[in-house]
Amino acid sequence: MSAFENIYKTSSKSRTLSPAEIDAFGAELDALRQSVMDNVGEREATYIRNVQKLVRYTEIGGRALLMAGLFPPAWLAGTALLSVSKIVDNMELGHNVMHGQYDWMNDPTLNGNTFDWDTVCTADNWRQTHNVVHHTYTNVQDVDHDIGYGLLRLFPEQKWEPRFLLNPIAASLLAVTFQWTLALQSLELEKLPKGEKTLAEVREEFKPILAKMRKKFFKDYVFFPLVAGPFFLPVLTGNLTANLVRNLWTFSIIFCGHFTEDAETIPEAAIANETRGQWYLRQIRGSSNLTGSRVFDFMSGNLSYQIEHHLFPTVPAVRYKEMSVKVQEICARYGQHYNAGPFSKQFFTVVKRILRYSLPTAKPAQLLAA
Amino acid sequence: MNTNASLNSSKTLNPVAATFQKLFDNDWLDFAISHVNPLFSVTRTKARVVSFHQETPDALSILLQPNQNWAGFQPGQFVPVRVDIKGVIHERCYSITSAPGESTIRITVKRQNGGLVSNWLHQHLLIGDIIELGAAGGEFVLPAVLPEKLLFIAGGSGITPVYSMIRAALASNPEADIVLGFYARNYLDLILLDELEALKEKHAGLRIQLCITGERMFPEDLVGRFTPAQLQGYCADVASRETFVCGPAGLIEAVVAHHAGKGLEAQLHKEYFGLPPVVREPGASAEVIYLKSGLTVETSEPTLLQAAEKAGLKPKFGCRMGVCNTCSCVKKEGVVRNLVSGAIDDTPNTLIRLCISEPLSAVTLDI
């Protein structure tokens, strides 16, 4: 029995599969992916172009309304529109396009390798930390940096340190400043005090990040307020609020995707010589879905189907809903736990995790045995 | 592609526009100004369809009005045309058949049997539609100093760049001595013949020899495919002429063999039309051209990522299993198989993931 099977046998709500079952499981998911990609085309192209238009029109509308922001309803409506624009730009458009989900369109404005989004996190750093590290090594201990972002302790397998007593405060700060802290993620600042990284390296890597930070800061907090002239303040506060709304929303969605109650992590040793079926299995074990309305799906960038997103990161996300029906059916047949629940419930378990692992907990004995 | 145009335009921008360009990316600005006029773009060359002219039953000329980013062309060059067909942008190159310096450009498109883009242009393109163009390209152009005597050999739609070159040659030297051997399957395939004959009326130095491989209707025309003896018949002084040949591979190879046999290779210029890609046998090697690196390497590696690494390149990669998209790059030409889905991609200028792409023919990559 390999380390891979062993680890799941002991800690999971899912049944242990034989190697042959894992291969068959993977083949079914491959076939599902293919059946969807075979009829991806005009519908998805029209859809994503409309999403792109929505982002732009809501941005124009929001910023225009904020120019009249001394009038409270205009400020509210403008801030709400701008928040929607920023959230959709970030999630349904940016995140999904940067995965290469729409590369088949050959549209240079929707190209996964060149697309840039309206957040301070540089697109190139994101493609590395998210597309490569997080998606290839989902919930692998010490490799998937998204486990706590080097800041939080979220799983018992992470070694406790006194700094984790501040877990709740750190998590709140992370939520409020999410786009800024995400921009710094690739620097892996937690390696500095341990001497695993030099200040000179960090300084060099920080240059492109600083450039993007300056650009976005200037746009939201200098340029548009100045253009508004006497309405400087409502524009400034509107932009600040819209960015805050997006920070809180993206933080919540992302944390609910991987750090809910039943989410599992696995040690690095277990993924050596991982087969495609095992890779699929790990994506399911490490991800959790949020059940909600179609509007909720849209505003989460379809990350409410986090499991499907992790199984099929390059399939247009708008197809995840229909795929989820089949994925659940396949999971049920193979006895695999399909972690899904409403946002309020899943978020509550995330908060519980943040609180619980701020205190020292022993590594589960059965995990140590593996 | 239009980097020159964009650099030029940003130089002349006023400070306000320059600030805007820093704050908003070009796609965003393009979106905004397209509401004023759908042709407007900061860097991209867009063109409006002005009119159509059916040249032959399967050749259509399209007159286009390009925007300010169009950087011009030399007679004989082609222009990449990008159209949105069912949500996917497809690109094909077509010869420009108008004269340089005009405000509009004309392309002539022959409908290819089973060809996606040429058929779409024939059936669905409408007057007023906006399409996107790349920068004109191609080495098949007249020499900087026009030779005194010229021979053109064109087969089928290969006449399109040749027509442009003949007209340009006569514009710069109305007395130029030009022979054109024009090969076609039948009379209905003689694209642009009326315009060629109008040129002949005006310029005594232009001689046109029609060669029909099908049934002949007029005694002055020749019958059958290109042969050296036939060429000798309508152009005895071939040795003293700069020769330009354009058409299907068979015609070009016959002309190349003829010129090689007489030691005339140095004065022969050629452009292939409709050359099918060579599909490699499993396990055989394929040629990969790395454009940005300026390398051409034979490979028998299973994937293009491994091929590039073997060739000493260091393309960016991540998961090596088709998930993370880090290694995706533009395939300019060639046929590849997606090892995950099995899909065959033979269209030019598409994005492929190197780690799961197997070369099935010579492949040109933009890395």
Q: Is the pLDDT of residue A335 over 50?
A: yes
The CA distance from B367 to B307, in Å, is 12
The CA distance from B181 to B151, in Å, is 8
Check CB contact under 8 Å for B325 and A106.
no
Question: What are the sequence ranges of the domains in chain B?
Answer: 3-133, 149-272, 286-365
Q: Which CATH superfamily is domain B286-365 in?
A: Beta-grasp domain (3.10.20.30)
Q: Mutation test of the interface with chain A: which of B324, B329, B365, choosing the one with the most A Cβ atoms within 10 A?
A: B324
Low-confidence ranges of chain B (pLDDT < 70): 1-13, 274-283
Residue A41: pLDDT band with limits 50, 70, 90: very high
Question: Does residue A99 belong to the interface with chain B, where contact is any CB pair within 8 Å?
Answer: yes
Cβ pair B51, B136 in contact under 8 A: no
Q: Options 3.40.640.10, 3.40.50.80, 3.40.50.300, 3.30.565.10; which CATH number does B149-272 get? A: 3.40.50.80
Q: Is the pLDDT of residue A4 over 70?
A: no
The CA distance from B280 to B277, in Å, is 9
Given B22, B88, B324, which is nearest A105 (Cβ)? B88
Q: Mutation test of the interface with chain A: which of B24, B34, B351, B352, choosing the one with the most A Cβ atoms within 10 A?
A: B351
The CA distance from B271 to B263, in Å, is 19
Question: Does residue A273 belong to the interface with chain B, where contact is any CB pair within 8 Å?
Answer: no
The CA distance from A255 to A284, in Å, is 15
pLDDT at A143: 85
pLDDT at B237: 94
pLDDT digits (tens, 9 = 90+) for A107-151: 989 999 899 999 999 999 998 888 888 898 888 888 888 888 888
The CA distance from B342 to B356, in Å, is 10
Check CB contact under 8 Å for B324 and A135.
yes
Q: What is the CATH number of domain B3-133?
A: 2.40.30.10
pLDDT digits (tens, 9 = 90+) for A257-308: 888 888 888 888 888 888 999 999 999 988 999 999 999 999 999 999 999 9
Average pLDDT over residues A151-175: 92
**Chain A CB contacts of B349 below 8 Å:** 106
**Chain B CB contacts of A127 below 8 Å:** 324-326
* Closest by CA position to B290, among listed B320, B310, B269: B310
Question: Does residue A313 belong to the interface with chain B, where contact is any CB pair within 8 Å?
Answer: yes
Given B84, B321, B341, which is nearest A37 (Cβ)? B341
Given B27, B87, B349, which is nearest A45 (Cβ)? B87
Alpha-carbon distance values, A165 to A144, A169, A359, B286 (Å): 22, 9, 6, 59
pLDDT digits (tens, 9 = 90+) for A175-226: 999 999 999 988 988 888 888 889 999 999 999 999 999 999 999 999 999 9
According to DSSP, the β-strands at B222-223 and B206-212 are parallel
Q: Is the pLDDT of residue A12 over 80?
A: no
Burial of B206 (0-12, 13-18, 19+ CB in 10 A): buried
Average pLDDT over residues A51-69: 96
Cβ pair A235, A69 in contact under 8 A: yes
Tell me which residues of chain A, numbers 141 to 200, contact chain B at a CB-CB cutoff of 8 Å. Answer: none
Characterise B347 by phi-psi region: left (phi > 0), alpha (psi -120 to 50), beta (else).
Answer: beta
Per the model's pLDDT, the better-predicted residue between A230 and A88 turns out to be A88
**Chain A CB contacts of B357 below 8 Å:** none
| ipTM, interface predicted TM-score of the complex | 0.84
Q: Which two tokens stand for residue A85?
A: 């624009």
Its pTM stands at 0.85
Q: Which two tokens stand for residue B332?
A: 């300019």
Check CB contact under 8 Å for A103 and B325.
yes
Question: Does residue A100 belong to the interface with chain B, where contact is any CB pair within 8 Å?
Answer: yes
Question: Does residue A109 belong to the interface with chain B, where contact is any CB pair within 8 Å?
Answer: yes
pLDDT digits (tens, 9 = 90+) for A263-277: 888 888 888 888 999
pLDDT at B292: 87
CB pairs under 8 A, 24+ apart, for A328-331? Answer: A330/A25, A330/A28, A330/A29, A330/A32, A331/A284
**Chain B CB contacts of A41 below 8 Å:** 86-88
Secondary structure of residue A228 in the 3-state scheme: coil
pLDDT at B2: 35
Secondary structure of residue A24 in the 3-state scheme: helix
Average pLDDT over residues A70-79: 96
